[in-house]
């Protein structure tokens, strides 16, 4: 019985080796370091891993009989992948992981401990073929991952699920052997209730982006005769972006107003039962005032969301152009920049782009142009800005480029 299984395993490894040898270009990979990848291992006749009758395939695609010398191969115990002894399936011939990509199906999710974020790791070999049958380990700095290990399928993908009951940013990592990939998933705080008194800027209740606040407005305290006309909230924006605030009530008409940290008025929503504010803001602390205007006193919800400004970096020779703003398209095909014979740059943006800042720096980090332009033209849905380089900067164009 043992003997038969042993022969079967040997036969499979020989088959695997022949398949590997038949791979186009496999002989040209002699320069691949010995330590790349992992070891596919059969325990051999005695069924025990680590003895002289083991048979294994190295990450360098060599079939070897005998006890694995991990130190000589520069590998660790974790790189051993026991073979099931089953015949290699179609696609198994390409089995040396060379890249891993990790993606989540949601960038953010409520921190309710239940909402599932699906994480998908894709493992490919150096020729871009899917690698099946390898174990991917998943880790997170926040929340729970279940399962923590998954095996890649015929498409080279392994999936798991992340959830969290704590708000914050989960840094997720997927790894196979020495390869790893990371992505971030933001868990947003669940609903909170307003806390009175919150009737002035000094009493503003602190809330975070993504939270839904449940409050009441317009009610009168029968004993004091005091009407709750103002609810104030304080919110901190971690990065530049567009803040969206939404007020919704069945019957209480209210007006939202936004103030900066110095108490200076920025904008307001107008009176409505569903009043929104959208404002492009720099990172910092802001205050939101909900003012009861009319209608029946009622409960309301206040929600906030932030769309971070995009940053686009374009390298042009030794110059780096960086754009910030809302709807800056993060693809160079929508962006044209060039230096013509008279040292001018042209920047072209599609309609709808709001550029809040752009900078051009030379190889030494010296600022060549910043947020200003000499003229612009709007034509066929494209804004084109021109900026001349001033004389004071002209000598910097002789800075040698790498």
Burial level of 10, CB count in 10 A (0-12/13-18/19+)?
A: middle
Using CB under 5 A as the binding rule, the residues of this chain from 180 to 199 that contact Ca ion are 198-199
For Ca ion, give the closer residue by CB, 105 or 199: 199
Of 126, 119, 118, 125, the closest CA to residue 156 belongs to: 125
Residues 203 to 262: which contact Ca ion by CB under 5 A?
A: 215-216, 228, 231
Number of residues located near Ca ion, criterion CB under 5 A: 6
Residue with smaller CB distance to Ca ion, 79 or 231: 231
Residue of 120, 70, 130 lying closest to 96 (CA atoms): 130
* Residue whose pair of structure tokens reads 């209608």 in the numeric block: 295
**300 vs 349, which CB is nearer to Ca ion?**
300
Footprint of Ca ion on 325-384 (CB under 5 A): none
What minimum distance in Å lies between the beta carbon of 199 and Ca ion?
5
Q: Is residue 124 a contact residue for Ca ion (CB under 5 A)?
A: no
Backbone angles phi, psi at 26, to 5 degrees: -65, -30
Of 17 and 230, CB closest to Ca ion: 230
Least separation in angstroms between residue 229's CB and Ca ion is 7
Nearest-approach distance from CB 200 to Ca ion, in angstroms: 9
* Strand-strand pairing, 212-217 and 192-193: parallel
Indicate the pairing of strand 344-350 with strand 265-272.
unpaired
User: Rounded to 5, what percent of the chain is helix, strand, coil?
Assistant: 10, 50, 40
Q: Using the minimum distance from each CB to Ca ion, give the nearer residue, 213 or 355.
A: 213
| Pick 79 or 228: Cβ nearer Ca ion | 228
Minimal distance, residue 302 CB to Ca ion, in Å? 10
CA distances from 152 to 40, 81, 103, 295 (A): 15, 13, 14, 59
- Please state the closest distance from residue 230 (CB atom) to Ca ion, in A: 5
Q: How far is the CB of 237 from Ca ion (least distance, A)?
A: 23
- Return the number of the residue (294 or 394) whose C-beta is nearest Ca ion: 294
Closest residue to Ca ion, judged by C-beta, is 231
- Beta-bridge partner residues of 252: 295
Least separation, in Å, of the C-beta of 168 and Ca ion? 28
Cβ atoms within 10 A of the Cβ of 238, count?
A: 11
- Measured distance CA(8)–CA(400) in Å, rounded: 65
Catalog residues that contact Ca ion under the rule CB under 5 A: 198-199, 215-216, 228, 231
């Amino acid at each position: 019985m043992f003997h038969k299984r042993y022969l079967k395993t040997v036969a499979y490894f020989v088959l695997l080796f022949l398949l590997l040898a038949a791979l186009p270009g496999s002989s040209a990979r002699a320069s691949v370091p010995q330590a790349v990848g992992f070891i596919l291992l059969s325990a051999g006749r005695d069924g025990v891993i680590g003895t002289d009758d083991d048979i294994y395939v190295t990450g360098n695609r060599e079939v070897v009989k005998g006890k694995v010398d991990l130190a000589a191969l520069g590998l660790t115990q974790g790189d051993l992948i026991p073979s099931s002894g089953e015949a290699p399936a179609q696609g198994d011939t390409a089995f040396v992981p060379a890249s891993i990509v990790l993606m989540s199906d949601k960038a953010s999710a409520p921190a309710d401990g239940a909402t599932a974020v699906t994480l998908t790791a894709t493992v490919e070999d150096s020729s871009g073929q899917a690698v099946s049958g390898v174990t991917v380990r998943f880790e997170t700095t926040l929340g729970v991952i279940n399962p923590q290990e998954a095996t890649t399928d015929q498409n080279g993908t392994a999936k798991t699920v992340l959830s969290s009951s704590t708000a914050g940013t989960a840094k997720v990592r997927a790894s196979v052997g020495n390869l790893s990939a990371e992505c971030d998933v933001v868990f947003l705080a669940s609903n909170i209730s307003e806390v009175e008194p919150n009737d002035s800027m000094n009493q503003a209740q602190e809330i975070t982006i993504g939270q839904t606040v449940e409050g009441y407005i317009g009610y009168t305290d029968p004993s004091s005769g005091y009407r709750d006309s103002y609810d104030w909230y304080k919110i901190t924006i971690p990065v530049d972006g567009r803040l969206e605030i939404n007020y919704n009530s069945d019957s209480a008409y209210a007006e939202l107003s936004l103030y900066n940290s110095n108490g200076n008025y920025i904008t307001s929503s107008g009176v409505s039962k569903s009043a929104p504010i959208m404002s492009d803001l720099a990172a910092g602390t802001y205050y939101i005032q909900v003012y009861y205007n009319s209608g029946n006193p009622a409960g309301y919800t206040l929600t906030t969301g932030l769309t971070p400004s995009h940053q686009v970096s374009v390298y042009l020779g030794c110059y780096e152009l960086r754009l910030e703003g809302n709807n800056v398209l993060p693809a160079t095909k929508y962006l044209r920049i060039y230096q013509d014979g008279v040292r001018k740059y042209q920047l072209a943006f599609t309609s709808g782009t709001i550029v809040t800042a752009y900078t051009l720096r030379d190889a030494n980090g010296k600022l060549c142009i910043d947020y200003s332009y000499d003229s612009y033209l709007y034509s066929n849905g494209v804004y084109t800005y021109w900026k001349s380089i001033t004389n004071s900067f002209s000598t910097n164009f002789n800075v040698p480029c790498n």
